[in-house]
Amino acid sequence: MPKKKLIAGNWKMNGSIAANDALVRAVIAGMKDAACQVAVCVPAPYLAQVQMLRHGTALELGAQDVSRHEQGAYTGEWSATMLKEFGVRYAIVGHSERRQYHHESDQDVADKAKAALAHGITPIVCVGETLAEREAGQTELVVKRQLAAVIHTNGHCISEIVVAYEPVWAIGTGKTATPEQAQQVHAVLRAQLHAASTRDDRVPILYGGSMNAANAASLLAQPDIDGGLIGGASLKAPDFLQIIAAAR
């Protein structure tokens, strides 16, 4: 039986105590009949607030990053152990903004995924190409290289991760890969994961990159798209709920 689709919101560096309260309550109220799994990945200062708001509901909690270190002199970072105390189920690793602005390497991302897995947190591993790389015909090469580092470091438990394909040129730009373009890359990643895993579990591959209420249904209808990692639309309860309703 296929796994349920996963719709995960990435709030990025947005939110306030008042806004979070209204948003989470609206999402919980509207997702009661959801056919998919739903999570929100929130800024670290709000983990405790959202943990309390989601308590006893089907809404899962996610973090936007995790340290590859267990503890120590790493000011400004937080470990998987810390996240676990807040009931965190998912942690985004390797988002293009982290790769670009914080110069995270493929190996950094692989190590973060390993740290999350060691504490029972599911890493959402982001991969994706820039516009220049796509125009140069390097899309497949780039995403396979990024995922290969994670597979090499976590091969024995690679079936426990989630992958998110986020073309960098479609993040926050309003541009979106067509369903056919997205499916083509998802199929490449699916084959790479299948070759790496000795288990039959289907690793969820989400699409990110300006998925919204208008295009979600057509993207989610593709055979290898198992959900979405939602940016801006996850900050608006009606839009986020419309995407959740499309994930069947």
DSSP class per residue in 160-202:
G-EEEE--GGGSSSS----HHHHHHHHHHHHHHHHHH-SS---
232 is in an annotated binding site: yes
The residue annotated as part of the active site, out of 97, 104, 160, 166, is: 166
- 231 labelled ligand-binding: yes
Among 135, 226, 215, 220, residue whose Cα is nearest residue 189: 226
Q: Which residues contact 86 (CB under 8 A, 6 or more apart)?
A: 47, 48, 51, 61
Token pair, residue 124, equals: 């959402």
User: Of these residues, 60, 95, 129, 186, which one is catalytic?
Assistant: 95
| Angstrom distance (rounded) from CA 206 to CA 212 | 13
- Is 10 a known ligand-binding residue? yes
163 CB contacts (<8 Å, ≥6 apart)? 124, 125, 127, 147, 189, 193, 203, 204, 205, 206
Determine if residue 11 is labeled as part of a ligand binding site.
Answer: yes
- Amino acid identity at 171: I
The strand pairing partners of 88, in sequence order, are: 61
Tell me whether residue 105 is annotated as binding.
no
Q: Please indicate whether residue 194 is annotated as part of the active site.
A: no
**Catalytic residue check, 180:** no
- Residue 138 has phi, psi (to 5 degrees) of -105, 10
Binding-site residue set for substrate = 10-12, 172, 210, 231-232
Task: Point out the residues that are catalytic.
Answer: 95, 166
Binding-site residue set = 10-12, 172, 210, 231-232
